[in-house]
Structure 1
Amino acid sequence: MMKNILTVLLVLFILGQFIRPTHNISAEQSPNDIERHYQVPTDVRLTLEKACRDCHSNNTRYPWYYNIQPVAWWLNDHIVEGKKHFNLSEFAAYPPKKADHKLEELIESQTDHWMPLESYQKLHADARLTEAESQALIDWASAVRDKIQTTHPEAFVKK
């Protein structure tokens, strides 16, 4: 009986290797990418690349273990959820108030240290941000928020 159960599980595991989620890879940078609309200093751009863009953009760098099911589905869920909350590739498509709020959340994620996720950091040592990297993200996001609020004051009028 146990042998039959293990055989069925093995067959399901093997078949599962052929059912894969769609890759999150864009051939080119989106016209709505934050870098096309706001100045991003090199140090901040590098931090976004190593710690944020895999889950919060339209272009993910996939690790080798992504090819093993059900890991790919688990990672895909993280990517879909990450993009739903904050997508650097589609940032300019956000209305000003939403863009401001997303940057406010980015600042909070760094002051409270809940991003990048611990599970991501365990597998991507370079995603562990130093205090200086976190502070650079905070300073940059604050400057972009100021620019959004100055450029679109009508979006922030209390009604």
Structure 2
Amino acid sequence: MKWLTYLLGFLALIFLGIQFVPNELPEVQIYNSGDIIQSGLVSEDVAALLKTACYDCHSNETVYPWYSKVAPTSWLVAKDIREGREELNFSHWTEMDVMKQLGKLDDIAEVVGNGEMPMEIYVWMHASAKLSDAQRALIVAWAEATMDKLVEEDEEDFEEDIDESN
């Protein structure tokens, strides 16, 4: 029994010690002029779903929960957010060219439609991010309709460029 006390004390010291290991959480920016919601491509319903289920990892508007300040979970949170923003950052939407936007919308339709996003561990910690089948269908329909809209606008711009050059 004495060894258990020593083991728990040792583990407590390790836990306290790792709190001093530096970990920089990705920066938060509340106003992002290049954000997809600011672009006019997103309805209020879809915007609310994106904010609730996607924005913590896929935008600069991350809301950090209490456990993001405690190692070792803080390391995992920082890693997931960096990777999420690298894959897709809604805050930089207007900085992407149309082809990249189309690819991201196609990815959104696929991963949300298949239930791969939001990630299960995220939903476990953020119950409000759990999407119903109807909410998933709404996001997929929005992504597909937005792809059609972007292609149509791009074709119109291309035709205008041709007309101006003639």
Alpha-carbon distance between aligned partners in 2 of 1:68 and 1:50, rounded to the nearest angstrom: 23
Specify which of 27, 52, 73 is matched with residue 24 of structure 1.
27
Aligned partners of 2:86 and 2:75: how far apart in 1? Answer: 16
TM-score, normalised relative to structure 2: 0.82
* 1:14 partnered with 2:16: yes
Runs of 5+ unmatched residues, structure 2? 159-166
Instruction: Report 1:61-72 matches (<5 A).
Output: 61-72=63-74
CA contact (8 A) 2:26 2:81 kept: no
TM-score normalised per structure 1? 0.85
Q: Secondary structure at the match of 2:81?
A: helix
SS of match in other structure, 1:152: helix
Partner of 1:117: 119
Letter of the 1:91 counterpart: W
Task: Give the deviation of 1:109 after TM superposition.
Answer: 0.9
Superposed CA RMSD: 2.0
* TM-superposed deviation, 1:38: 2.7
- Greater C-alpha radius of gyration: 2
- 8 A contact 2:26–2:82 mirrored in 1: no
In the other structure, the counterpart of 1:157 is none
Deviation at 1:145, TM superposition (A): 1.0
The percentage of counterpart residues that share the same residue type is 32
How many residues align structurally?
152
Residue in structure 1 matched with residue 161 of structure 2 by the alignment? none
2:58 corresponds to: 56
